[in-house]
Amino acid sequence: MSRVFVSLVFAMVTGMAAQPAVAETPAEVLAIFKAEAVGTPGFKDFSAVRGAEFFKNKHGGEWSCASCHTDDPAAQGKHAKSDKLIKPLAPSANPERFTEMKKVEKWYKRNCNDVLDRECTAQEKGDVLTYLLTIGK
């Protein structure tokens, strides 16, 4: 009887371990940005309105976030140079988005450098994600 029990537990555990690991949820990613932003001078509660404006602004350069991700983050995007199609950015349209912090940081670093010539602050990242989370709701 105990052998059956142990086997069952073993099967359960391996079954659970076999699930694809989602490192974070978008809400958890947002909480991480909040924790980083809160201590910084001039911190304001994350705002979707500010995030939307930031997203569509070219910030004095050639590109905005919308240049590749389009004005509708739930839509498919296209790379402004290579024309490669980009899956939607809004988590409501693409559940894989903002579920792996390593990937989130990689793309914020690259794309903020491309758009702003600098890294985005935690405030800016949080505003943008707050905006993206309102899409499709």
Partner 1 sequence: MKFSGKHALGILAALLLVAGVVKLAVSDDYSGRGQQMMAGDKEAEEVKVRRAQPSNPEWLEECSACHIAYPPRFLPAESWREIMVGLGDHFGSDASLDVKTAGEISAFLEQNARRRKTTPDASGKYPLRITDSRWFRREHARAASRVKDDPKLRNLANCGACHMQAESGSFSEHDVRYPF
Which residues sit at the interface with partner 1, rule CB under 8 A? 79, 81-84, 106, 109-111, 113-114
Any idea of the CA torsion for 39, 41, 47, 50, to the nearest 10 degrees?
-150
Residue 40 or 113: which CB sits closer to partner 1? 113
Shortest spacing between CB 89 and partner 1, in angstroms: 13
* CB 4 to partner 1: min, Å: 39
Give 50 or 97: the residue with its C-beta nearer to partner 1: 97
Which candidate, 52, 54, 56, 53, places its Cα nearest to that of 68?
56
User: Measured from the CB atom, is 52 or 65 closer to partner 1?
Assistant: 65
Say whether 64 sits in a helix, a strand or coil.
coil
Q: In angstroms, how far is CA 40 from the centroid of its own chain?
A: 21
Looking at the Cβ atoms of 42 and 83, the one nearer to partner 1 is 83
Q: Which residues contact 21 (CB under 8 A, 6 or more apart)?
A: none
CB of 107 to partner 1, least distance (A): 9
